[in-house]
Structure 1
Amino acid sequence: MVPPLQNWSGGSGQFMLTRRSRIVVDGAPGSRLVTDARTFADDLAALGVRRLPVVAGSTARKGDIEVTARDNVGEGFGIDVTRDSVRLSGDGPAGAFYAEQSVEQMLKTSDDHALLPVGATRDTPAQRTRGLMIDTARTYWSVESIKQTIRQLAWTKFNTLHWHLTDSEFFRLDLPGYEGLAAAQSYTPADLRAVQDYAARFHVTVLPEFDIPAHATAMSKYRPSLRWDCASMNAIIDTARVDPGFTVDITKPQNVAWLDGLAEKIVDLFDSPVIHLGGDETPRAATQDKCPELAAYAKAQGYSRTQDVFLAYENHLNALLARHGKKMQIWGWWPQAGGAGSVTVDKDIRIQAWLGDEQTFIDQGYDVVVSNEFSRLYVVPKAMPGTANGQYIPDDDALYRTYAVSTSDRVQGLEMAQWGDRQYTAPEAYSLTYLRRPLQILASTAWGSPRRAGYLDYEAMADTVGTAPGVAEPTDPDARPVSATA
């Protein structure tokens, strides 16, 4: 199973599905439990199991699979298998759904897709957020590929798809009223609705990212007035590379107002209670200090440092999202940019830590999602498979055997980040090839599964479990059969 159960108390014998077996749901006909049970039945049919009827509010009998939920929330679940019946009990509908995914994997890997071993488990995830970020700003993914990725995430008990939609190269949102801003291949409001509805069916939250005030070249090309006048702020971060418009000039009220309007337009298109607004890779302190108008603005506002201008802007965006009933998430960056002076970033902003500094933010009282690039939670395939890719291709063995997650209550979860740098024309299958193993391993780590004796044992098991119903098994077009002894 992927991720493996945290525990399993085995019994004697097996349960067998019969022609009389049903899925019996303890819920009203229109409830989420019943809707999920129908998906469960569809999945089993796709795996080769006879389609089981879904019955709501009936009494379970011999040969049935019974589905219940204790409450409306919670991802933990229990599975109890006897020779006569199967009982799936979730803490909430999501927990019941994960119990169903577990049973699907058991049946998929059984010889005739009809047998389950007698036994029981009580399982609950170690991490609240178990996610993947996909960079469709650099590399456009079809809506169908995004849906298949969501299905595979749910199959391995991930609950978040972080959708990176805008960056310096391309703006991938085709929004009414902003004609000409979107790239040729972009997502319409109808596309966003279709992806979110599909994700909700599988208990996956689609968390959008609109990256500001840096990574904004695509926007400043569309609207040149967003750019800075001073030369230093046209350098990317702190390098000699000049890129006018990479960072928006947020000292100009008209620029802030324009970004506010765009942000509100995007917020209204998403159901997620959390919205990601970037915040990373603004120029560092030494670069900022060389900009006369930035220094003058900071002084006029009473700030002690130019960096405070950007930190105050994050608080401005946080207030904007709060007015829409949303929580804000940003990339951790200001310690690298030079720290803070007279402005403190609001403590209710969730930080996505990516530079190995999650403890820095935890110590300051922030909730944190960990995407530590140095701990191999980044996937950035910049060259063809088998060639040098630097540090950004995860060491799957180390990630599986030795990666330790902070036990702080401030840690909200783990997220693998897939970046599309230099992949502007690559098909989405290219990135998915690189993601396959890291996601299998992160599934186990984020769920809190016990480790097997070796990474290769886990890899072999993951291959046996394979992909979700309706998602094609991975293939290598260059693969050839080989007979060998390891």
Structure 2
Amino acid sequence: MSLQPGDIFLTLETGDATSQPEGYVLEITPTLTIRAQTATGIFYGTRTVLQLLKQNLVIPGGTASDWPAYPERSLMVDMGRKYFSVEWLEQHIRELAYLKYNYFHFHLSDNYGFRPESEHHPEIASPQHYTKAEIRSLIELAHKYHITVVPEIDMPGHMDTILAAHPELQLTGLGGKRRGGDIDLAKEESYQLMRDILEEYIPLFPGPFWHIGADEYIMQDDYERYPQLLAFACEHYGPDAVIKDTYLGFVNWANEIVKAHGKITRAWNDGLYGGSAVKLADDIIYEHWYRSGLEPQAIVDLNLYILNSNADYLYYVLGNNNWRARPDGIYESFEHHIFHGPLAIGAFHPRNLGAKLHVWCDNPVLETEEEVAWGIAAPLRSLAQKNWGHSHSRLAMLTLPKS
């Protein structure tokens, strides 16, 4: 093939950085060539070219080999508490791709909303929701931009919207006091409802993961208020079981449903510990946001995968200056191997998947979606650099000698 000055040539081949699944080699002479092993590598090479052109319409000559430091580079948006328009989500799929992110975590349910349309349980969907056609369209757009959508429907806590339509399943303690958001894991009907939801939505998302949430389900010091959970644990797991076994049994139960669909379960780390009679499944990805339970080193020592979701650096909570991801803090102080606590593992540990920025909408009216977009723009860029870059400089444009 004869290339002319100014031509752009994209080619799939192996060798050098192209041995990395997302890596590429960029060669700038009078022509521009991007070589990669995969279409994804080619795509990221084109993102680099766009970024270089953004800085200057003249790109210096030379060769660069480039690949990401971490396999997962992600954004989570709390669509459960705050409805974000389809157009906003589409805009951020393109934004994430430009910044070389490859995962978009849809937190689809929480205290104030259940956002996917439901054919099996229409009573649980919020007035502002996404049709399945809209979700499929978003997934298709994400796929085009080499982004995997990770869906989450939070269980067995944060189920306020679902339980508003099924109040008989809300966890109720001594004296008849209801616990907001928590479903009663001692009732078989609770599992039937949750199975219906999982079976309806897991097939809607073609990606390899399903996030079950599993965070903040009652607190240890509240256990004595719910004797039915202890009775359930003893009945199903033996006389030595404790209340925490009921919760851990739920996690294993949900994990089996997820695996039956050929997917991998992800969950927040804060409750994934303890118990007496139930051994937690050993194939769940821990998304570590808070110092609770197993320490990160213990997680990777069990040969489990972990994602850094450090709440001190990577939480953007609407209107809350105490939980406000800041670009300087991420760029100058955040490290992937240091988790909330601070708790550390070895740098570039093979079981450390990467890091994720989180948009939490505890008070959804405090910011418009436009203000959220503005607020996360700089933190997204800082984390993009930390997720992609290495501790040493690999990507250096080499100036060609003058002829």
TM-score range, shorter chain: 0.7 to 0.9
Q: What is the deviation of 1:109?
A: 2.4
- Aligned-pair CA distance for 1:382: 2.3
Shift of 1:264: 1.2
Partner Cα separation in structure 1 for residue 100 and residue 176 of structure 2: 43
The equivalent of 1:172 in structure 2 is 115
Q: Does 1:266 align with 2:201?
A: yes
Alignment counterpart, residue 398 of structure 1, candidates 312, 323, 329: 329
Larger radius of gyration: 1
CA contact (8 A) 2:82 2:112 kept: no
Alignment gaps of 5+ in structure 1? 1-57, 235-241, 384-388, 453-486
Q: After superposition, where does 1:274-289 map in structure 2 within 5 Å?
A: 274-289=209-224
**SS of the residue 2:154 aligns to:** strand
Match of 1:17 in 2: none
CA distance in 1, matches of 2:205, 2:360: 22
Q: Distance in 2 between matches of 1:322 and 1:271?
A: 13
Residue from 429, 437, 442 that aligns with 2:378: 437
| C-alpha RMSD of matched pairs (Å) | 2.1
Separation of aligned partners in 2, 1:408 and 1:344: 25
Q: 2:166 aligns with which of 219, 223, 236?
A: 223
What are the residue-to-residue correspondences of 1:154-233 with 2, within 5 Å? 154-231=97-174
Q: Please give the alpha-carbon distance, in whole angstroms, between the structure 2 residues aligned to 1:139 and 1:321.
A: 26
Aligned twin of 2:39: 93
May I ask how many residue pairs the two structures share in their alignment? 374
Q: 1:287 to 1:262 in 2, by over 3 A?
A: same
Q: Report the counterpart of residue 310 of structure 2 in structure 1.
A: 372
TM-score, length of structure 2 as denominator length:
0.87
Q: Aligned runs of 1:44-83 on 2, under 5 Å?
A: 60-70=3-13, 74-82=21-29
Deviations 1:55-76 (A, max 9, x none): xxx6544431110123798111
- Given the alignment, which residue of 179, 182, 192 partners 1:247? 182
Percent same amino acid among aligned pairs? 29
Cα deviation, residue 359, structure 1: 3.4
Question: Is the CA contact (8 Å cut-off) linking 1:133 and 1:418 kept in structure 2?
Answer: yes
Residue identity in the other structure for 1:105: Q
**Alignment partner of 2:183: what SS?**
coil
Indicate conservation of the 8 Å contact 1:79/1:121, yes or no.
Answer: yes
**Scaled by the length of structure 1, what TM-score is found?**
0.73
Q: Does 1:102 align with 2:48?
A: yes
Q: Deviation string for 1:346-368 (max 9, x for gaps)? A: 11111110004533422343211
SS at match of 1:137: coil
